[in-house]
Amino acid sequence: MQDKRKFGKALLSFRQQGLIESDSFYEESEKEIINLKTVLQEINSLDISEESRLSLENIKRLIQRNFSENPLAWWDRNKIEATLKVKEECKYEYVRYKPIQMNMEDKKDMQMIIKEHINLGLIEPGVSAYSSPGFLVRNHGIFIKDLAKYKKYFRPLLKETESSKWKWEEIHTQRVHELQQVCSNLPKLAIPQDEDELVVYTDANDYRWAAVFMKKTTTGEEPCRYTGVLFSE
């Protein structure tokens, strides 16, 4: 009742200001409000907990048209056809590449690898005398600039191993165990002071770089920080 009085006062104010020309506007608005109230009461009185437009049974009924345990049940109704152009069968393809000169040892290794791949069914035997159905590139990502400058340093080392083949001995096993022990028991990080003498050791290869931050003591050096990061990161 209070809402109706407020609404009437608002309409009277609008009418005094010339915004409403007659009482018909008030009557029509009152009817619309009553109708809206009635609809809201009907909606509130509905019990939609059991029967609903989106109940499980109604959902099943809605999707039953396109649902079946048989995949071909509605094929005529829902089929989609597509044509795929298949490239003509071609087992071998000519690749433009300069021939690589191989020594006898590499040639034997290559022959062994090709035979293994053929036996595994990874490649098929070729009929050409100048090419094979597979290829192998050794040390593809390694390139040493100005290699001739460095040969003079490692040639004397190569001569030492030409006559005798290197053999794994017990001393090498001991060194590996020692290295494992050192890596499993890393030292505690020291806290550097302003008066300490500090040293940074760095190293890197083609894939990552690493650095160790050390401080010198009377007994040697103690690590303070260390890090290592891949170049790809």
Greater model confidence, 18 or 228: 228
Q: Which two tokens stand for residue 170?
A: 């017990």
Instruction: Express each pLDDT in 165-197 by its tens digit.
Output: 777 888 888 988 888 887 776 667 788 888 888
23-60 confidence digits (pLDDT tens): 555 566 676 677 666 766 665 565 555 555 556 666 56
**Coil, helix or strand at residue 135:** coil
- Average of per-residue pLDDT across 82-109: 65
Give Cα 7 distance to the centre of its chain. 64
- 209: phi > 0 → left, psi -120 to 50 → alpha, else beta; which? beta
In this predicted model, which residue has the larger pLDDT, 101 or 15?
101
Q: What per-residue string of b and e applies to 36-50 under the rule 16 or more CB within 10 Å gives b?
A: eeeeeeeeeeeeeee
Q: What is the pLDDT of residue 184?
A: 73
pLDDT at 109: 81
- How does the average pLDDT of the chain come out, rounded? 68
Q: For a pLDDT cut of 70, what percent of the chain falls above it? A: 42
Q: pLDDT class for 148, splitting at 50, 70, 90?
A: confident
Least confident span in 4-18, 84-98, 197-211: 4-18
* Domain residue extents for the chain: 2-47, 100-163, 188-233
pLDDT score recorded for residue 20: 45
Given a contact cutoff of 8 angstroms between Cβ atoms, the answer to whether 201 and 212 are in contact is yes
Residue 152 pLDDT: 72
Q: What is the pTM of this model?
A: 0.24
> Given 3-state DSSP classes, what are the helix, strand and coil percentages for the chain, each rounded to the nearest 5?
40, 10, 45
- Phi, psi angle pair for 228, to nearest 5°: -155, 135
Tokens standing for 174?
Answer: 């001991």
Residue 147 vs residues 44, 100, 143, 153, 207: alpha-carbon distances, Å = 89, 19, 9, 11, 20
